[in-house]
Amino acid sequence: MDSSPQAGTREAGPPQAGTAQAGTAQAGTSEAGTGRPAAPAAEFVDIDWRGARVRIEHAWLNRGRTDAPLLVFLHEGLGSLSMWKDFPQRLCDALGWRGLVWSRPGYGRSTPRAPDERWDVDFMHRQAHEVLPALLAALRIDPARERLWLFGHSDGASIALLYAARFPRAPAGLVVLAPHILVEPISIASIEQAARAYREGGLRERLGPYHADPDSAFWGWNRIWLHPPFRDWSIEDEIAPIRCPLLAVQGLDDEYGTLEQVHGIARRLPQARVLELPDCGHSPHRDHPDLLAAAVRAFVLEQEAGAPAAAPSPAPSTRRTR
């Protein structure tokens, strides 16, 4: 849910929800000061969702590798295609896989949320059960015919879990970063702080480079998470049907959730593997991109090969359950 310290760093102090850096390169341009590309150039496709035509911003990575598995990226609660920057490309290159990065409705340059539209408590279920399948169909991606992995962060991780639970035969595997399976007091406190930062602290301006309509992205997310009925939201009992391999990653300093999020997954899914990263907040792909990419590569190639792969070095804490 937090919105983005620069990849590879983490600022100390209070939760950094929405601290996207001003002046960051737009999709398809170079990330300032690194010489590396930022997010890839976007394309658009229309889907029919709940009686409306919705435009979805998306980008393909390594599109020509048609025989390789496909890794679909699902962004956080304030994220978008461009906010991933170059991490998806770097990971797909390390794997030799294709990738698909996209912005959910209300985010990035996808169709924005109407000013009077308020999301319901089941908004992540709708994304998992309706929007993602519609997008895959529009792009002619058939999970029954190709190896489909999901890589989700925060709200996107929860959406990945919900998709795999509803369609257990569809994904070949999941990687979920800082997932939410229940609402915790630490989450609410950080989201309340984000609202203050958006109104008074310049967060709206910092989100500007990543969203055509920052108000659409921020208030859709913030209002539902702070809506009193959402305090009882939980998918703990819904994830039991998941059958595919799963890597659940959490920073030990995550300001939006405790380790109960990933440990709760491991208790319910015996195939789940938990990766705990020290000196890491809510965004492992920004705080420790190289270490995360190495750990993900080892895990997914082990699953694809059906044999153990060498662990990354240095190795963070990895366990089945706790």
Cα separation, 18 vs 300, whole angstroms? 30
3-state secondary structure 90-127: HHHHHHCCEEEEECCCCCCCCCCCCCCCCCCCCHHHHH
Q: Using CB atoms within 10 Å of the CB of residue 305, give its burial: 0 to 12 exposed, 13 to 18 middle, 19+ buried.
A: exposed
Tokens standing for 83? 């906010």
159, 221, 256, 260 from 228: Cα distances, Å: 21, 14, 17, 21
Given a contact cutoff of 8 angstroms between Cβ atoms, the answer to whether 244 and 221 are in contact is: no
Pairwise CA distance, residues 134 & 7, whole Å: 31
Q: Is residue 273 part of a domain?
A: yes
Within a domain: residue 254?
A: yes
Q: In CATH, what number is assigned to the domain containing residue 177?
A: 3.40.50.1820
Would residue 92 count as lying in a domain?
Answer: yes
Burial of 40 (0-12, 13-18, 19+ CB in 10 A): buried
**pLDDT tens column, 160-182:** 999 999 999 999 999 999 999 99
8 domain residue, yes or no = no
Contact between 44 and 129 under an 8 Å Cβ cutoff? The reply is no
pLDDT band at 39 (very low <50, low <70, confident <90, very high): low
Burial class (CB in 10 A: 0-12, 13-18, 19+), 98: buried
251-305 residue pLDDT tens? 999 999 999 999 999 999 999 999 999 999 999 999 999 999 999 999 999 999 8
Q: Judging by beta carbons within 10 Å of its beta carbon (0-12, 13-18, 19+), is residue 306 exposed, middle or buried?
A: exposed
For position 201, what pLDDT does the model report? Answer: 87
Do the domain assignments include residue 17?
A: no
- 8-22 tens-digit pLDDT: 334 333 333 333 332
How many domains does one find in the chain? Answer: 1
- Whole-number pLDDT of residue 79: 97
The answer to whether residue 23 is domain-embedded is no
108-130 pLDDT, tens digit each: 999 999 988 999 999 999 999 99
- Residue 94, domain extent: 43-319
pLDDT band (50, 70, 90) for residue 26: very low
Assess if residue 24 is contained within a domain. Answer: no
